[in-house]
């Protein structure tokens, strides 16, 4: 039997408020969740110099963009933290893989931390999988601390079932000269609430984010990304690419927050989305907050239907419109998929996309 | 008294010393050429002479018309009669080329400029440079091609009439015709305005029609050789290898 | 600077900061009660429907909350704002009949001058009432109506009733409700079908009495195929008591009509500017907004355009300069409903001396707005490290058939650009002012010359500091 819990409150709050009519200031949730703690986590390829164990978290003070509700839930449900520590100077060549395998009706909460000590480098790949039409719940919180000169590369592949309720809370800090890279493929799930907050506190620290998404069917994709620049000469670059079809809903909030003192900081955020159905609803809110003079912030967005030029060009090669749409969707997502080196994950993504686009 | 007297200057950029004790004297109306391989510090010397705050003179001094200008800001040096043609001129949206030049003249001379006279001079100078007149109403350098930017620099040289002009790689990225046009402008400055020149270049095309008085070779932040116009020819044939 | 459009040096700041003693003015009690609203109705000889409308609006005002986003307006105490201050004169048709002190005010602002030069009509509002109004004969002959709102309520009652606060209903937000309750003065313009008004109509608002609120209503109807440029200028002298401006502008742009609405706002730096402006465009109509915000302590200003008709378009060009003690939250809202509609928002903001500027926008593309286009471009310039500049542009796209482009840039004046200008003999301060003027140029070039000059003066004043 299950363990019904209530999750009530706000997710993905905006760092600054705007008009209420836009309904982007936060997401009010009131969910009854069957937290039966079924679902598995399988850890593969623990590299030399990397330790993985269940213990108390040390990054309690690190918070991201998903709001306090997720942390409150983790505490209340006493979810243990999986601690991943990368020793100083260690360069882990093979990615550490965390496979989250879920099935019909599963409900799981997970909490993990990655601490990369001075000068180390690690890649952690998280694959979330469930059957394509399955329902369930998966909530996960990942905290990152990249110490001086280290690199953390976090890869997330969401291949959950169409009726899955999923929230993600990623919060990270990069110290002097450290770098956090995020590669995210948001393909599955029914209702997805993704909150990612990265603080570039160190001098010359950096963040590179590449997110690919596919919204189809009745899917809801609610995203709140925040990059806070507090370190001098810190740099961030964020790219969101994807496609929307059927009657899916996407809310994308992306904020670059330049705090006073972040002299010489640079931040860039770009979105490219193609809309493939009359019934989609896309909201985009790209925010720049600037409390420092000596910075460069840029934003760009390109959202809309496939261009006539593309359709005509492809048409002149005998390709039908529906096929052009599938091709262009793949092209958008492939630009992110290619950043993932793991062959198994690549294969899973490929298979998921073929099915998803076939059943469109 | 030399017009420009550079006495043993060392220059730092981002805390790295680029020039190590460079000395140079240019007299009124003389044309000097500064040559050297990439990264020798040629542009650094140009910026340091013009007073770019990011280029710090850590030792030595710079005299212009007998007065030290080492601690003067760029606008004061310009008013004193110094001019630098930039290798990559900045784009300044919202200010037209003509109103910019007029402004600069007013600022430098402190006098009002007669509009009709200004218009006439501008037109003549633009014709000399085969510079389409419509460019005078376009925003300063904004959307100009490489060649147009260089022409806009030489146009400013002709209009502002400095006593010494430093031309930083004015010929780079230009086709044969454009080099010819630009050197026509430089010649006009040299002859009519009796202007002195310090031409920074690593090619020799621009020098063909100009009378060169002295040639300096700059390598790794030091002037390793100074000679007459024939040195240009020598470099042209043998390159810098002998000096590396 | 020597170019006439690029600005004039040595501007006398005091022309924007002078006042005359108020005397023998009629004032209502401070604060806002039903009695005060009734008193206003009586005083203004409102028709019954308008008197009822005011009371309903007051009810709405009381029920609504102040917004939880945007700049702080807690310094605004409604009880301290005198809603209705009427100068002691009737409206005058001849400039010479206007009392001297009021006339001096406008003369110092150059209003009659401007009228003589190039404007088809001028309406000048002094505190809550329009004191001077004149429309050139040839414009009148074309059938154009340009009058104060009170006269319009008498002479064009049906037209006013049909349009008044229909675009901006009192329920829109708390200050729209306040406006509905206590509105007073403003302009009414009607341009008949097919009529092109060749020269701009202009109104100039000025607040003189300390602690007074100004709630003028502007209603403009541009009929099918007609063309109008309307210019609105605002200023107020400086007082220690907070001033509130909660005006309302409603613009009806008919089929294939064109309306350009230009504003240079230079309220004194203690003003709370909570103005609501809205336009609705029928088929094939073109709405253009040119908006410069320089004054006020706090501004909430987002002119909105509803592109109802197919093939209708809007262009919004704006500049905001937030200096010391200013928190200016400005931008634009667009709703695209018709097919083949397009919107273009292009704004610049400048922050200096601890000033805060926020660009805020919302563009909504409705499900049936086939082939909709929108482009939003905002650039912000930070002039020192004590100031702040935020950009909050929202897009809500409810159809596939849209083409959406957005660009935002934030940064400072590059040292290289300063050095380049200085190497031509221009002083550092002048180089900065030139670059800022250049940054603002896309807006000033959209303005009539005398306004462009005024705007450049304002920029130079701001750049020179206090």
Nearest by CB to residue C420, choosing from B90, B107, B139, is B90
pLDDT in tens, A240-262: 999 999 999 999 999 999 999 99
What number is the average pLDDT over the span A297-306? 92
| Claim to verify: residue B61 and residue B100 sit in the same structural domain | no
Confidence class for position B67, pLDDT limits 50, 70, 90? very high
Q: Find, among A126, A120, A168, A110, the residue nearest to A145 by Cα.
A: A120
CA distances to B131, B168, B187, C305 from B183, rounded to whole Å, are 13, 13, 6, 55
DSSP states of C400-455:
SSEEEEEEEEEEE--HHHHHHHHTTT--HHHHHHHHHHHHHHHHHTTS-HHHHHHH
- List the domain range (segments joined by +) for residue B108: 94-197
Q: Which residue of B has its CA nearest to C426?
A: B75
Chain C residues touching residue B78 (CB < 8 angstroms): 422-426
* Residues within 8 A of C (CB atoms), B 78-137 only: 78-79, 83-84, 86, 89-90, 92-96, 99-100, 102-104, 106-108, 112-113
B51 touches C: beta carbon within 8 Å: yes
Q: Do A275 and C402 touch (CB under 8 A)?
A: yes
pLDDT at C16 over 50: no
Q: Do C395 and A301 touch (CB under 8 A)?
A: yes
| pLDDT of amino acid B115 | 85
Q: Report yes or no on B87 lying in a domain.
A: no
Q: Do C394 and A284 touch (CB under 8 A)?
A: yes
- The two beta strands, C121-126 and C129-135, are antiparallel
pLDDT in tens, A170-212: 999 999 999 999 999 999 999 999 999 999 999 999 999 999 9
| Claim to verify: residue B101 and residue B135 sit in the same structural domain | yes
pLDDT in tens, B41-52: 999 999 999 999
| pLDDT of amino acid C110 | 55
Interface B:C, ≥3 CB–CB pairs < 8 Å: yes
Q: Report yes or no on B162 lying in a domain.
A: yes
Considering Cα of A113, then A119, then A120, then A124, what sign does the dihedral take? positive
Q: Report yes or no on A204 lying in a domain.
A: yes
- Helix residue ranges, H only, C72-173: 100-108, 111-118, 137-141, 149-155, 157-163
pLDDT at C191 over 70: yes
pLDDT at C466 over 50: no
Cα dihedral C414, C420, C423, C426 in deg (nearest 10): -70
Q: Do C424 and B160 touch (CB under 8 A)?
A: yes
Q: Which residue of B has its CA nearest to C440?
A: B94
Complex ipTM over 0.85: yes
What number is the average pLDDT over the span C378-402? 94
Q: Find, among A250, A307, A255, A260, the residue nearest to A283 by Cα.
A: A250
Confidence class for position A237, pLDDT limits 50, 70, 90? very high
Q: Report yes or no on B203 lying in a domain.
A: no
Given its phi and psi angles, is residue C10 left (phi above 0), alpha (psi -120 to 50 degrees) or beta? left
| pLDDT of amino acid C209 | 54
Mean pLDDT of chain B: 90
| pLDDT of amino acid A109 | 95
| pLDDT of amino acid A110 | 95
CB A292 within 8 A of CB C403: no
Least confident of A35-44, A54-63, C295-304, C414-423: A54-63
Q: Report yes or no on A340 lying in a domain.
A: no
DSSP code of residue C92: B
pLDDT at A217 over 50: yes
What number is the average pLDDT over the span A295-300? 94
Q: Report yes or no on B76 lying in a domain.
A: yes
Buried b (16+ CB within 10 A) or exposed e, A216-227: beebbbbbbbbb
pTM metric for this prediction: 0.86
Q: What is the CATH number of the domain that holds B28?
A: 3.40.50.300
pLDDT at A73 over 70: yes
Q: Report yes or no on A349 lying in a domain.
A: no
What number is the average pLDDT over the span A332-340? 91
Confidence class for position B213, pLDDT limits 50, 70, 90? very high
Confidence class for position B15, pLDDT limits 50, 70, 90? confident
Token readout for A124 is: 């952690």
Q: By CB neighbour count within 10 A (0-12 exposed, 13-18 middle, 19+ buried), where does C137 fall?
A: exposed
More reliable by pLDDT, C120 or B166: B166
Q: Report yes or no on A10 lying in a domain.
A: yes
Backbone angles phi, psi at C276, to 5 degrees: -120, 125
Nearest by CB to residue C425, choosing from B99, B104, B113, is B104
Can you tell me the distance from the alpha carbon of C315 to that of A137, in angstroms, rounded to the nearest whole number? 46
pLDDT in tens, C21-63: 444 444 454 567 888 888 888 888 899 999 999 999 999 988 8
What number is the average pLDDT over the span A296-301? 94
| pLDDT of amino acid B91 | 87
Q: Report yes or no on B121 lying in a domain.
A: yes
Confidence class for position C135, pLDDT limits 50, 70, 90? low
Task: Give percent above pLDDT 90 in chain B.
Answer: 61
User: CB under 8 Å to B187, separation ≥6 — which residues?
Assistant: B209, B210
| pLDDT of amino acid C26 | 45
pLDDT at A53 over 80: yes
Q: Find, among C148, C219, C147, C216, the residue nearest to C183 by Cα.
A: C216
Q: Report yes or no on B205 lying in a domain.
A: no
Nearest by CB to residue C441, choosing from B74, B83, B94, is B94
Query: How many domains does chain A contain in total?
Result: 1
| Claim to verify: residue B66 and residue B34 sit in the same structural domain | yes
Considering Cα of C49, then C55, then C59, then C64, what sign does the dihedral take? positive
- List the domain range (segments joined by +) for residue A135: 4-305
Chains within contact range of chain A (3+ C-beta pairs < 8 Å): C
Nearest by CB to residue B94, choosing from C419, C421, C440, is C440
Confidence class for position C138, pLDDT limits 50, 70, 90? confident
| pLDDT of amino acid C21 | 46
Confidence class for position A269, pLDDT limits 50, 70, 90? very high
Q: Report yes or no on A183 lying in a domain.
A: yes
| pLDDT of amino acid C40 | 85
Mean pLDDT of chain C: 82
Q: Report yes or no on B207 lying in a domain.
A: no
| Claim to verify: residue B8 and residue B47 sit in the same structural domain | yes
Q: Report yes or no on B189 lying in a domain.
A: yes
What number is the average pLDDT over the span A19-46? 93
Token readout for B221 is: 């932040």
B68 touches C: beta carbon within 8 Å: no
pLDDT at C118 over 70: no
| Claim to verify: residue B151 and residue B234 sit in the same structural domain | no
Can you tell me the distance from the alpha carbon of C266 to that of A299, in angstroms, rounded to the nearest whole number? 30
| Claim to verify: residue B72 and residue B148 sit in the same structural domain | no
User: CB under 8 Å to A251, separation ≥6 — which residues?
Assistant: A24, A27, A221, A222, A223, A283, A285
When mean pLDDT is compared over B84-98, B126-140, C334-348, C407-421, the highest value belongs to C334-348
Q: Report yes or no on A229 lying in a domain.
A: yes
CB B72 within 8 A of CB B127: no
CB C319 within 8 A of CB C347: yes
What number is the average pLDDT over the span A311-332? 84
Nearest by CB to residue A16, choosing from C390, C393, C403, is C390
More reliable by pLDDT, B50 or B232: B50
Q: Which residue of B has its CA nearest to C420?
A: B90
pLDDT in tens, C413-450: 988 999 999 999 999 988 998 899 889 988 888 877 77
pLDDT in tens, B77-127: 999 999 999 988 888 888 889 988 988 898 888 888 888 899 999 999 999
């Amino acid at each position: 039997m299950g363990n019904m819990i209530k999750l009530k409150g706000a997710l993905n709050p905006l760092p600054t408020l705007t008009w209420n009519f836009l309904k982007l200031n936060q997401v009010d949730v009131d969910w009854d969740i069957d937290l039966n703690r079924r679902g598995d986590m399988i850890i593969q390829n623990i590299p030399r110099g990397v330790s993985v164990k269940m213990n108390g978290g040390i990054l309690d003070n690190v918070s991201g963009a998903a709001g306090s509700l997720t942390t409150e839930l983790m505490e209340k449900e006493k979810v243990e933290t999986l601690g991943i520590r990368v020793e100083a100077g260690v360069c882990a060549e093979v990615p550490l893989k965390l496979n989250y395998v879920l099935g019909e009706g599963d409900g799981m909460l997970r909490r993990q931390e990655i601490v990369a000590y001075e000068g180390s480098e690690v890649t952690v790949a998280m694959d979330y999988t469930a059957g394509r039409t399955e329902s369930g719940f998966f909530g996960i919180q990942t905290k990152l601390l990249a110490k001086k000169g280290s690199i953390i590369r976090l890869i997330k592949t969401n291949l959950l079932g169409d009726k899955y309720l999923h929230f993600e809370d990623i919060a990270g800090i990069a110290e002097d000269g450290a770098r956090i890279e995020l590669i995210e493929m948001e393909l599955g799930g029914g209702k997805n609430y993704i909150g990612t907050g990265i603080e570039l506190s160190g001098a010359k620290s950096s963040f590179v984010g590449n997110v690919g998404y596919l919204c189809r069917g009745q899917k809801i994709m609610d995203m709140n990304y925040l990059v806070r620049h507090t370190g001098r000469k810190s740099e961030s670059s964020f790219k969101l690419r994807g496609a929307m079809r059927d009657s899916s809903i996407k809310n994308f909030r992306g904020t670059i927050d330049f705090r006073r003192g972040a002299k010489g900081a640079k931040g860039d955020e770009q979105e490219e989305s193609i809309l493939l159905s009359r019934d989609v609803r896309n909201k985009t809110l790209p925010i720049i907050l600037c409390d420092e003079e000596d910075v460069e912030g840029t934003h760009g967005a390109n959202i809309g239907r496939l261009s006539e030029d593309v359709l005509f060009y492809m048409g002149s090669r005998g390709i039908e419109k529906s096929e052009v749409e599938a091709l262009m969707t793949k092209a958008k997502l492939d630009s992110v998929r290619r950043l993932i080196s793991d062959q198994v994950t690549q294969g899973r993504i490929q298979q998921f996309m073929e099915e998803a686009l076939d059943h469109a | 008294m030399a017009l420009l007297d550079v006495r043993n200057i060392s220059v730092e950029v981002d805390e790295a010393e680029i020039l190590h004790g460079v000395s140079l004297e240019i007299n009124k109306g003389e044309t000097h050429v500064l040559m050297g391989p990439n990264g020798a510090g040629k542009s650094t010397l140009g910026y340091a002479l013009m007073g770019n705050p990011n280029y710090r003179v850590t030792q030595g001094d710079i005299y212009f018309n007998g007065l030290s200008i080492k601690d003067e800001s760029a606008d004061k040096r310009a008013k004193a009669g110094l001019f630098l043609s930039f290798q990559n001129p900045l784009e300044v949206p919202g200010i037209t080329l003509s109103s910019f030049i007029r402004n600069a003249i007013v600022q430098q001379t402190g006098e009002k400029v007669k509009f009709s006279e200004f218009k006439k001079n501008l037109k003549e100078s633009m014709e000399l440079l085969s510079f389409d007149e419509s460019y005078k109403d376009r925003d300063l350098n904004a959307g100009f091609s490489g060649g147009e930017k260089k022409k806009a620099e030489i146009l400013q040289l002709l209009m502002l009439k400095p006593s010494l002009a430093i031309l930083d790689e004015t010929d780079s990225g230009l086709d044969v015709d454009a080099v010819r046009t630009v050197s026509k402008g430089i010649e006009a400055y040299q002859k009519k305005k009796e202007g002195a020149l310090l031409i920074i270049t690593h090619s020799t095309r621009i020098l063909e029609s100009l009378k060169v008085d002295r040639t300096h070779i700059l390598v790794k932040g030091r002037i390793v050789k100074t000679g007459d116009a024939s040195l240009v020819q020598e470099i042209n044939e043998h390159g810098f290898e002998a000096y590396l | 600077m020597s170019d006439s459009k690029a600005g004039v040096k040595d501007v006398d700041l005091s022309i924007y900061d002078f006042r005359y003693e108020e005397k023998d003015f009629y004032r209502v009690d401070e604060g806002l009660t039903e009695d005060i609203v009734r008193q206003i109705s009586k005083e203004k000889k409102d028709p019954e429907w308008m008197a009822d409308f005011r009371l309903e609006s007051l009810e709405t005002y009381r029920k609504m909350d102040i917004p939880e986003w945007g700049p702080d307006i807690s310094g605004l105490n409604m009880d301290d704002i005198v809603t209705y201050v009427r100068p002691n004169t009737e409206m005058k048709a001849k400039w010479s009949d206007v009392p001297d002190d009021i006339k001096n005010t406008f003369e110092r602002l150059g209003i009659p001058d401007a009228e003589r030069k190039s404007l088809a009509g001028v309406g000048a509002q002094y505190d809550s009432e329009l004191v001077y109004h004149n429309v050139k004969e040839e414009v009148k002959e074309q059938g154009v109506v340009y009058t104060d709102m009170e006269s319009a309520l008498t002479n064009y009652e049906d037209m006013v009733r049909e349009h008044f606060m229909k675009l901006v209903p009192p329920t829109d937000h708390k200050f729209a409700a306040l406006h509905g309750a206590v509105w007073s003065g403003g302009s009414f313009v009607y341009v008949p079908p097919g009529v092109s008004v060749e020269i701009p109509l202009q109104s100039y608002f000025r607040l003189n009495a300390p602690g007074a609120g100004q709630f003028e209503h502007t209603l403009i109807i541009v009929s099918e195929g007609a063309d109008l440029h309307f210019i609105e200028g605002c200023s107020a002298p400086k007082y220690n008591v907070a001033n509130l401006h909660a005006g309302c502008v409603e613009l009806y742009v008919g089929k294939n009509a064109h309306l350009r609405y230009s504003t240079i706002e230079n309220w004194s730096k203690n003003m709370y500017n909570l103005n609501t402006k809205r336009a609705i465009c029928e088929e094939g109509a073109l709405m253009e907004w040119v908006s410069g915000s320089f004054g006020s302590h706090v501004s909430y200003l987002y002119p909105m355009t509803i592109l109802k008709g197919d093939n209708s378009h809007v262009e919004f060009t704006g500049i905001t300069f937030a200096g010391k003690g200013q928190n200016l939250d400005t931008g634009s809202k667009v709703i695209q409903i018709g097919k083949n509609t397009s919107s273009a928002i292009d704004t610049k903001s400048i922050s200096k001396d601890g000033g805060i500027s926020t660009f805020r926008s919302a563009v909504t593309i409705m499900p049936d707005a086939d082939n909709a286009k929108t482009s939003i471009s905002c650039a912000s310039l930070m002039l020192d490290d004590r100031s702040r500049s935020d950009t909050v542009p929202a897009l809500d796209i409810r159809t596939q058939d849209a083409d959406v482009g957005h660009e935002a840039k934030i940064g400072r004046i590059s040292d290289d650009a300063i050095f380049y200008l200085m190497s031509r003999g221009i002083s550092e301060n002048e180089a900065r002012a030139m670059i800022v003027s250049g940054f603002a140029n896309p807006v000033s070039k959209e303005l009539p010359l005398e306004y462009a000059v005024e705007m450049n003066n304002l920029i130079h004043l701001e750049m020179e500091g206090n």
